[in-house]
Amino acid sequence: MRISIRPLGDVPWDVLEDLVEDLKDLGDATLLESKDLNSDWFDEKRKQYRAEPILESLASDAGDRVLGVTAGDLYTGTYNFVFGVGRIYSGPAVMSIAHLESPDLGKTRERIAKEAIHELGHTLGADNCPNRECVMSFSNSVDAVDRKTRSFCRRCTPTIEFMLKRLRT
């Protein structure tokens, strides 16, 4: 699978390089040129970016799957914030590193990798999983992100493997 990573706004270069490395088990990740965050995507009252129009803007980027990465705070619907949003069975996903940072750089990298894999998992057809250790477990806090692993559970693995095989043919 070809994964295109689109930086949105100012994202630390080391975060992006780590992400390319951390996504190798899913496919070949490449970095696209950075794109500015559109002011139309920003909700002035909430001081956050709406995820849906960002997904729309990513839909035309090249790659089997596209992951937008931003340091901007994201939200969708009635959620206070989201770590990311990925469309089921479709190309684009977007994630924010805003709530994933830790004084421990290793922990920050691990959180970012887990959420990137989670959002790309949605684009491959996996829904949120009830297994709290599965990477597809829904996370509404960094504690939930820290609790889960980078791996797909036995329930989610067949979906991911089927779609990855399909993308290779």
Could you report the per-residue pLDDT of 106-144, keeping only the tens digit for each?
999 999 999 999 999 999 999 999 999 999 999 999 999
pLDDT at residue 168, as a whole number: 82
pTM: 0.95
HEC-encoded secondary structure of the chain? CEEEEEEECCCCHHHHHHHHHHCCCCCEEEECCCECCCHHHEECCCCEEEHHHHHHHHCCCCCCEEEEEECCCEECCCCCCECEEECCCCCEEEEECCCCCCCCHHHHHHHHHHHHHHHHHHHCCCCCECCCCCCCECCCCHHHHHHCCCCCCCCCHHHHHHHHHHHHC
Residues 2-15: tens digit of each pLDDT: 999 999 999 999 99
Mean of pLDDT values over 48-53: 97
Mean pLDDT of the chain: 95
pLDDT tens digit sequence for 75-93: 998 899 999 999 888 779 9
CB 134 within 8 A of CB 148: yes
What does the pLDDT read at residue 169? 63
62 falls in which pLDDT band (50, 70, 90)?
confident
Local confidence band at 22 (pLDDT 50, 70, 90 cut-offs): very high
What pLDDT score does 95 carry? 99
33 part of the active site = no
Spell out the CATH class of 2-168: alpha beta
